[in-house]
Amino acid sequence: VQLVESGGGLVQAGGSLRLSCATSGFDFEDYAIAWFRQVPGKKREGIGCIMNSVDSTYYGDSVKRRFTISSDHAKKTVYLQMNSLQPAETAVYYCALGSFCGSYYYADDTAYDYWGSGTQVTVSS
């Protein structure tokens, strides 16, 4: 199993970025992919997730209506479109593989078995 994030970088406050999570080594349709972010010294924060079998998504309250998760099934890649980014959202962003997506699971990092190495997102003020 492999998950590789890309698309991070430096953006000004109010700007947008799209992260990608390229996956391999498992049946893409059978699993959920979640996005988390982490600031050094702080707990990993769940952003949202997508259940690939039905393309259903769930988002945390802090990113609803600004962030969108989508899947390209042919490419086995999951995207995180982030709009109206703020400096407090500077973090390393990770994608993770698990079996479930929903109001409980999206924020529970123990529910996800495989992780990418992360991509840095820096939002300047």
- pLDDT value of position 12: 98
H helices present in the chain, as ranges: none
For the stretch 45-56, pLDDT in tens is: 999 999 999 999
Whether 18 and 122 have beta carbons less than 8 Å apart is answered as no
Q: What is the pLDDT of residue 100?
A: 93
Q: What is the pLDDT of residue 88?
A: 96
Q: Are 108 and 42 in contact (CB under 8 A)?
A: no
Which tokens hold the place of 21?
């999570």
